[in-house]
């Protein structure tokens, strides 16, 4: 796992409507279904990554290979399924593995909600193949390895200092619009039930 905490946290509609992040004296209203606009001051000091894209934004297109070498394109899912796009720092790390196991267990619930779950890290395809087999993961593990972090940067969740994606999740509707987002500190696992709540609100 990448060391060190992030300096902000963005929550979707399943959380309280207004949060103060990590005691830094800035706040931001989350965005999710309903279209409430973000507001608040920018965090003090330089951030190692760009601000994550917000709800209401057109989801950046991508084509990434998964742990079996298959190319997965966001465009292929448009009009067919909602997408839960989950960025995580590294395979074979404790918090990431716990999150992915929770996603694996919840796959039937995501399918019932008409959603495809895509997990993205900056690991190589070969690393992800071994990782997926070791953990018994059926969900696609997408490799944003080369150009390194290109898709993570497009979504504003690539940490330039650590060289990995941070814990950002984007719920994308069938039209290709981001409808809900969350970014957690690197040590803070996300709650899978939040994604299901956001999907049911679409």
Catalytic residues: 96
144 burial type by CB count under 10 A (0-12 exposed, 13-18 middle, 19+ buried): buried
Instruction: Give the Cα-Cα-Cα angle 152, 88, 92 (nearest 5 degrees).
Output: 130
Contact yes or no for 116/82 (Cβ under 8 A): yes
Q: To the nearest 5 percent, what fractions of the chain are helix, strand and coil?
A: 25, 25, 55
Q: For 111, left (φ over 0), alpha (ψ -120 to 50), or beta? A: alpha
* C-beta atoms surrounding 35 within 10 Å: 9
Return all residues near 108 (Cβ < 8 A) that are at least 6 apart: none
**Helix extents (H) in 106-181:** 107-112, 125-135, 150-154
CA trace torsion 4, 134, 138, 57 (10° rounding): 20
């Amino acid at each position: 796992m990448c060391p060190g905490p992030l300096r902000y946290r963005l929550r979707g509609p399943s959380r309280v409507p207004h949060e103060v992040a990590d005691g830094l004296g800035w706040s931001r209203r989350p965005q999710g279904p309903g279209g409430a606009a973000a507001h608040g001051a920018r965090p003090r000091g330089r951030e190692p990554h760009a601000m994550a894209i917000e709800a209401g934004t057109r989801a950046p297109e991508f084509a990434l290979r998964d742990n079996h070498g298959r190319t997965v394109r966001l465009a292929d899912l448009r009009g067919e399924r909602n997408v839960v796009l989950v960025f995580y720092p590294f395979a074979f790390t404790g918090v990431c593995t716990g999150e992915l196991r929770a996603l694996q267990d919840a796959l039937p619930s995501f399918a019932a909600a008409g959603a495809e779950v895509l997990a993205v890290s900056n690991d190589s395809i070969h690393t992800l193949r071994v990782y997926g087999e070791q953990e018994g993961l059926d969900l696609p593990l997408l490799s944003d390895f080369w150009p390194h972090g290109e898709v993570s940067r497009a979504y504003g969740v690539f940490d330039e200092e650590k060289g990995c994606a941070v814990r950002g999740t984007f719920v994308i509707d069938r039209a290709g619009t981001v409808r809900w987002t969350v970014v957690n500190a690197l040590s803070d696992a996300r709650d899978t039930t939040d994604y299901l709540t956001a999907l049911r609100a679409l």
